[in-house]
Structures are given as structure tokens and as C-alpha cells.
Structure 1
Amino acid sequence: MSFDLSGKAALVTGASSGLGRRFAITLAQAGAKVAVAARRVDRLDSLVQEIAEFDGRAIAIQLDVTDPDSVRHVLDVAETELGGLSIMVNNAGMVLRGDAHEMALADWDAVIETNLRGAWMMAQQTARHMMRLGHGGSIINIASILGIQGRPWVPAYSASKGGLISLTRALAVEWAPHGIRVNAIVPGYIETDINREFLASAAGKTLKARIPQGRTGVPEDLDGPLLLLASDLSGFMTGTTLTVDGGHSAQL
């Protein structure tokens, strides 16, 4: 066995930028046909083209993970265009920062609705799809070390990612008899366009100095964990979390 995903169909949410974009490229390079989904479908065009340039197959689908109709639609289109899905990467998410005691209820709800409720709906619809087709598959939830480690100013994000880790375990146990594996990747601080400015700041450099490996991550650091969980090499893994943070969460 290997990381070869030839013949498999995958869906990646939140694929228009950052980690989601990298996940889609990595799966396509391993041979998977990939449905890339995000709110702004126009931002997916360059990704589809980039995958086509190395003879990969990708399609772009508009998706709002907070809308049940949109979630059902993305599964229907992916199945019609690519066939039965074997892999789903639950990556769509958002963060709003601010003092916990000042946080508006609407901001709390927006983060939980996207990061936890949206991930739940995507997992539920994917599981229904896999059960109907009877082939099982791999659901990969993208969590965060902030779901297992306290940090100020991101209470809703931390709660949503902690909830997603617990949800991963619950779904893994329930869906194992159907051949559906549910695991989570728990990234530490991975440099992307969203946080690059912060990581270059004095506060960011202080944070980096506390990471045992002495650096923040890059999206490519998640390639191995992603391919492991997406491939048959992890056939006896479900309900687990793979932490990729340079040792950050291991220290007191």
C-alpha cells in the first residue's frame, strides 16, 4: 500500500485559500479527483487550473457550510461529476478575535455555526452519501491546537475546535461499522496569508520562540498527515487526532 489515491474522489471545503488550497493540491497530486468548494467560487478557478496543469482533475463548487441546502447540493454535484466520494476534508472555518467579556453573541454564533455546526452538517451528509453507496471512506476534520490548549481572545474559535475534536471521536465510534473512518488533524501555528503579518510581528516572534522546534509550520508540513488519513494506510485508524505543531502543545 502507499499514498496513491488514484481512482478515489475527494471533497475539500474552504479550498479557496490557505490550508484548504494546499489540501486540494496534495490530494490531486496523489491521484485523487477533487471537488474544491468555498463560498466564493470565483476564487477556485485558479486552483482548478493549477491542478489541471499537472494533469489532475478538479471541479469547483460553491458552498456555504452554514446552509443545509448548500451542503446537500455540494455532495450531489460532487457525486454527479466525480462519482462516489471516498474522502472529505472538513476544512472550512473562520475566526473572530476579541476580549471574551466584550464578544457579541452574533460573533460567537457565527464562529460556532461555521466551524462546528457546519463541520457537523458536512460530516453528516458525507456519511449518508457513503452509507448509501456502501463503500465507506475517510472524513478528515481540521481542528487546531487551540481546541486543546488555552489562549486568550479567541473563545468561540477555541470552543468550536474543541467541540470538533470531541465530535470526531463520537462519529468515529458510531460510523465505524459502516466502514467510515473519522479522524482529525490538529495543526499548530501554520503560516498562511491570514496570519503571516502577525507571525512576523514582535508577538509572533515571541510565540515562535516558545515552539520546541523553533519555527512555525508551513502548509507542506500537513501533507504527510493528510495523505496518511486519506489513504488506506490508515485503515485501522479512526477517532484519533494527529497533532502537527512542532511540539508546541506537548510542553507546559
Structure 2
Amino acid sequence: GAIVSFTRELAIELIPQRIRVNAIGPGVIEVPRYYRTMPTYTREIGERWVPWGRVGQPQDVARAAVFLVSDEAEFITGQVLYVDGGTTARMALPVPGPALPE
């Protein structure tokens, strides 16, 4: 999508200055906004959709940001780090459900 393309393009543009550009793609992160804007949202619904078995917490995203700005990530640029408990990885797989009749 647009964020991936923008991140990659900006990373290439800023490599000569040794500036790293990365993005974080958060999944379902439990923040108060979800309860205000989506009244039917519950933690249990989120947990069913996230392969890791729980919704993300703000500190999960914070840890990713700390890693990306650290020296440990010195050779990483132009990437999107998805902090989503495996949701993005699962999107490419078939959704389990009842078998189709033969």
C-alpha cells in the first residue's frame, strides 16, 4: 500500500545521509478509542482474530519503535514492521471453516 511505498521511497532517498526510514504497522491494539468508536468491540472478539491469541497493547508498539531507533536496527531501512500478533501473516492463508460439500 501507500505506507509501504512511501517508506521504501523515502528510505532510498535518505540513504546517502545515512538516515534510516522505517514504519510500524500496528494490528489490533487495545486503546480506549476502540471502546468509544466501536461499542460492540470486546477483547474476546479481538483475541479470536489475532493468531497470537491476544490483542496488542501500546507497549508492544513502543518496543518495536525502540528497536527500530536502536543501534540493533542499524542495517534496517525501508521496512514496515508489523506488530500484529501474526494477523498480517494469516491474511494470506485460507480462513478455517466448515468444509465445502462434495
Note if 1:206 corresponds to 2:41: no
Give the residue type in structure 2 aligned to 1:186.
G
Unpaired segments ≥5 residues, structure 1: 1-161
- How far the C-alpha of 1:232 sits from its partner, in A, is 2.0
Distance 1:202 1:179, change over 3 A: closer
Q: Is 1:239 the equivalent of 2:78?
A: yes
Asked if the contact 2:22–2:77 (Cα under 8 Å) also holds between the matched residues in 1, the reply is yes
Residue identity (%): 41
- Residue of structure 2 aligned with 1:182, choices 1, 17, 21: 21
Q: CA deviation at 1:177?
A: 1.0
SS at match of 2:76: coil
**1:204–1:244 distance in 2 versus 1, CA, 3 Å:** same
CA–CA distance in structure 2, aligned partners of residues 249 and 202 of structure 1: 20
CA RMSD of aligned residues (A): 2.0
- Name the CA distance, whole Å, in 2 between partners of 1:202 and 1:226: 26
Q: Unaligned stretches of 5+ in structure 2?
A: 94-102
Q: Deviations over 1:66-101 (max 9, x none)?
A: xxxxxxxxxxxxxxxxxxxxxxxxxxxxxxxxxxxx
Matched, 1:193 2:37: no
Note if 1:218 corresponds to 2:19: no
Query: How far off is 1:208 after superposition?
Result: 2.8
Q: Distance in 2 between matches of 1:238 and 1:202?
A: 35
- CA drift of 1:204 comes to 6.4
Deviation string, structure 1 residues 28-56 (Cα, Å, up to 9, x no partner): xxxxxxxxxxxxxxxxxxxxxxxxxxxxx
Q: Greater RCO between the two (CA within 8 Å, min separation 6)?
A: 2
Q: Where do 1:103-252 residues align within 5 Å?
A: 162-197=1-36, 198=38, 201=40, 205-251=44-90, 252=93
Q: Residues 26 and 82 of structure 2 are in contact (CA less than 8 Å); yes or no, is this contact kept in structure 1?
A: yes
Count of residues in Structure 1 that have an aligned counterpart in Structure 2 = 90
SS in 2 for 1:229: helix
In 2, Cα distance between equivalents of 1:215 and 1:167: 30
Deviation, 1:196, is: 2.9
Where in structure 1 do 4 or more consecutive aligned residues deviate above 6 Å? Answer: none
Distance of 1:179 and 1:201 partners within structure 2: 46
Partner Cα distance (2:52, 2:87) in 1: 8
Whole-angstrom CA distance in 1 between matches of 2:49 and 2:57: 17
Question: More helix by proportion, 1 or 2?
Answer: 1
Question: Normalising by the residue count of structure 2, what TM-score does the alignment of the two structures yield?
Answer: 0.76
